[in-house]
Structure 1
Amino acid sequence: MNLELDFARSPYTGWTRAHWEAFVERMVGAVEPYRSPSGARIDLPGPASGNGSVSDGIEGFARPFLAAASLVAGRNGKDPGNLMERYARGLDAAMDPASPEAWPRPEELLQTKVEAASLVLGLQMTRPWLWDRLDDRVRENTVNWLSGIMGTWYPPSNWVWFRIIVESFLRENGGPWSATDIEEDLAIHAWMRRRNGWLSDGPGRHYDHYVGWMLHTYPLLWTHLFEVPDSLCSTSLREQWNIDLGRYTDDVLRLTGADGSPLVHGRSLVYRFATAAPLWMAALTGAGNHDPGLLRRAASGIVTHFENRGAFEGNGVLSLGWHGAWPAMRQTYSGPGSPYWASKAALGLLLPQDHAVWTSVEQPLPVEARNVSCVIEAPGWLVSGRKKDGLVTVVNHGSDHSEPGAEIADAPVYARYGYSTATVPPLAGPAAHNPLDNAVVLLDRDGLASHRTGFDTLFTRELEDGVLVGASQGRVRWIESDGDAAANFGTYQSGIMTPGPVVTVASAVRDGVEVRLARVDGPTDAVALRFGGWPVASSEPPLTGTGGEDLHPFAEASSQDLVSAVRNVAGLTEAGILVEKDASPLGEFVAIPWLATGTVTPGQVVVATVTLSRGKVDEPAPRVTAEPLTEGGHRITVAWHQGKPTEFTLPTWPAL
Structure 2
Amino acid sequence: MTADDRLLSPFTGYTRAHWAESADRMLLALRPFASADHARIDLPGRASAYGRDSDSLEAFARSFLLAAIRLRGESGADPHGLTQWYAAGLRAGTDPSSPTAWPRPDRLDQAKVEACSIALGLHLSRPWLWESLDSGDRERIVAWLGTVVGQEYPPINWVWFQIVVETFLRSVGGPWSPEDVDRGLRVHESLYRADGWYSDGPERAYDHYGGWALHVYPLLWAEMAGELCPDGLRRAWRDRLTRFLDDAVSLVGADGSPLLQGRSLSYRFAAAAPFWMGAMTGASDLAPGVLRRACSGILGHFRTNGAPDARGLLTLGWHREWPEMAQSYSGPGSPYWAAKGMLGLALPPGHPVWTDVEGPLPVERTDVHATLSVPGWLVSGTRRDGLVRIVNHGTDHSVPHDERADSPLYARLGYSTATLPPLVGTTVGHPSDNSVAVVDGAGRRTHRNGFETLGCELVDGVGRAVSRARAHWVTTEDDHGPDHGSGRRGTVRHGPTVTMGSLLRGAVEVRAARVDSAVGLDGASRLEFSGWPVADEVLPAVGTAADPPRAEVTGGRLVSCVVGLAGLDAAEVRRERHTSPLGEHVAVPLLQTAQTPRVGRVYVAAVVLAGADAGETALPTVTVRPDGPTDTVTVRWPDGSTSVLRLPAPAPAAA
CA RMSD in angstroms comes to 1.4
Sequence identity (%): 50
Question: Contact conserved, 1:255 with 1:263, CA < 8 A, in 2?
Answer: yes
Name the structure 1 match of 2:508. Answer: 513
Task: Report 1:436-451 matches (<5 A).
Answer: 436-451=432-447
Q: Do structure 1's residue 160 and structure 2's residue 135 form an aligned pair? A: no
CA distance in 1, matches of 2:480, 2:134: 50
Name the structure 2 match of 1:63. Answer: 62
Name the structure 1 match of 2:649. Answer: 652
Q: Return the letter of the residue paired with 2:649.
A: T
Q: Do structure 1's residue 533 and structure 2's residue 531 form an aligned pair? A: yes
SS at match of 2:644: strand
Q: Return the letter of the residue paired with 2:350.
A: D
CA distance in 2, matches of 1:643, 1:169: 61
Task: Report 1:184-263 matches (<5 A).
Answer: 184-224=183-223, 226-229=224-227, 232-263=228-259
Name the structure 1 match of 2:449. Answer: 453
SS at match of 1:451: coil
Question: Contact conserved, 2:546 with 2:571, CA < 8 A, in 1?
Answer: no
Q: Return the letter of the residue paired with 2:497.
A: V
CA distance in 2, matches of 1:23, 1:473: 46
**CA drift at 1:48:** 1.0
Name the structure 1 match of 2:93. Answer: 94
The unaligned stretches of length 5 or more in structure 2 are: none
Q: Do structure 1's residue 636 and structure 2's residue 637 form an aligned pair? A: no
Name the structure 2 match of 1:542. Answer: 540
Task: Report 1:24-43 matches (<5 A).
Answer: 24-43=23-42
**CA drift at 1:204:** 2.1
SS at match of 2:22: helix
CA distance in 1, matches of 2:619, 2:60: 55
Q: Do structure 1's residue 611 and structure 2's residue 602 form an aligned pair? A: no
Q: Return the letter of the residue paired with 2:407.
A: A
Q: Return the letter of the residue paired with 1:153.
A: E
**CA drift at 1:234:** 1.6
CA distance in 2, matches of 1:553, 1:83: 61
CA distance in 2, matches of 1:168, 1:584: 41
Question: Contact conserved, 2:454 with 2:467, CA < 8 A, in 1?
Answer: yes
Question: Contact conserved, 2:562 with 2:605, CA < 8 A, in 1?
Answer: yes
Q: Deviations over 1:390-417 (max 9, x none)?
A: 0000000001000011111000000000
The unaligned stretches of length 5 or more in structure 1 are: none
CA distance in 1, matches of 2:450, 2:503: 22
Q: Deviations over 1:39-84 (max 9, x none)?
A: 1111111121110100000011000111111111100000010011
CA distance in 2, matches of 1:653, 1:529: 18
Aligned length: 648
CA distance in 2, matches of 1:131, 1:397: 48
CA distance in 2, matches of 1:266, 1:316: 25
Question: Contact conserved, 2:254 with 2:386, CA < 8 A, in 1?
Answer: yes
Q: TM-score, normalised by structure 1?
A: 0.97
CA distance in 2, matches of 1:256, 1:546: 32
Q: Return the letter of the residue paired with 2:488.
A: Q
Q: Do structure 1's residue 375 and structure 2's residue 381 form an aligned pair? A: no
CA distance in 2, matches of 1:519, 1:573: 16
Once the two structures are overlaid, the 10-residue window that deviates more, 312-321 or 600-609, is: 312-321
Summarize the Cα distance change of 1:291–1:27 in structure 2 as closer, same or farther, 3 Å threshold.
same
SS at match of 2:46: coil
SS at match of 2:306: coil
Name the structure 2 match of 1:479. Answer: 474
CA distance in 2, matches of 1:234, 1:512: 45
SS at match of 1:300: helix
**CA drift at 1:195:** 1.5
Q: TM-score, normalised by structure 2?
A: 0.97
Name the structure 2 match of 1:417. Answer: 413
Q: Return the letter of the residue paired with 1:651.
A: P
Question: Contact conserved, 1:472 with 1:506, CA < 8 A, in 2?
Answer: yes
Name the structure 2 match of 1:574. Answer: 570
**CA drift at 1:239:** 0.8
CA distance in 2, matches of 1:149, 1:508: 49
Task: Report 1:378-417 matches (<5 A).
Answer: 378-417=374-413
CA distance in 1, matches of 2:454, 2:215: 28
Q: Do structure 1's residue 347 and structure 2's residue 340 form an aligned pair? A: no
Question: Contact conserved, 2:535 with 2:556, CA < 8 A, in 1?
Answer: no
Question: Contact conserved, 1:619 with 1:641, CA < 8 A, in 2?
Answer: no
**CA drift at 1:484:** 4.4
Indicate which of 563, 579, 584 corresponds to 1:583.
579
Q: Deviations over 1:550-573 (max 9, x none)?
A: xx1100001033100000000000
SS at match of 1:123: helix
Task: Report 1:543-558 matches (<5 A).
Answer: 543-549=541-547, 552-558=548-554
Question: Contact conserved, 1:531 with 1:596, CA < 8 A, in 2?
Answer: yes
Q: Do structure 1's residue 129 and structure 2's residue 125 form an aligned pair? A: no
CA distance in 2, matches of 1:487, 1:376: 30
CA distance in 2, matches of 1:380, 1:624: 24
SS at match of 2:515: strand
Q: Deviations over 1:575-603 (max 9, x none)?
A: 10011000000000000000010121010
Question: Contact conserved, 2:319 with 2:581, CA < 8 A, in 1?
Answer: yes
Question: Contact conserved, 2:508 with 2:619, CA < 8 A, in 1?
Answer: no
SS at match of 1:431: coil
**CA drift at 1:523:** 1.3
Name the structure 2 match of 1:356. Answer: 352
Once the two structures are overlaid, the 10-residue window that deviates more, 312-321 or 487-496, is: 487-496
Question: Contact conserved, 1:486 with 1:492, CA < 8 A, in 2?
Answer: no
SS at match of 1:129: coil
**CA drift at 1:643:** 4.0
Q: Deviations over 1:5-25 (max 9, x none)?
A: 101100111111111111111
CA distance in 1, matches of 2:170, 2:568: 64
Name the structure 2 match of 1:467. Answer: 462
SS at match of 2:316: coil
CA distance in 2, matches of 1:217, 1:236: 17
Q: Return the letter of the residue paired with 1:532.
A: S
CA distance in 2, matches of 1:476, 1:409: 10
Question: Contact conserved, 1:482 with 1:496, CA < 8 A, in 2?
Answer: no
Name the structure 1 match of 2:316. Answer: 320
Question: Contact conserved, 1:635 with 1:648, CA < 8 A, in 2?
Answer: yes
Name the structure 2 match of 1:146. Answer: 145
Q: Return the letter of the residue paired with 1:396.
A: N
**CA drift at 1:617:** 5.9
**CA drift at 1:352:** 1.4
**CA drift at 1:433:** 1.5
Q: Deviations over 1:218-248 (max 9, x none)?
A: 0011112x1331xx42211111101111111
Q: Do structure 1's residue 625 and structure 2's residue 629 form an aligned pair? A: no
Task: Report 1:246-325 matches (<5 A).
Answer: 246-325=242-321
**CA drift at 1:323:** 0.5
Once the two structures are overlaid, the 10-residue window that deviates more, 252-261 or 644-653, is: 644-653
Question: Contact conserved, 2:267 with 2:334, CA < 8 A, in 1?
Answer: yes
Indicate which of 484, 496, 500 corresponds to 2:495.
500
Q: Return the letter of the residue paired with 1:605.
A: V
CA distance in 1, matches of 2:481, 2:504: 34
Question: Contact conserved, 1:436 with 1:531, CA < 8 A, in 2?
Answer: no
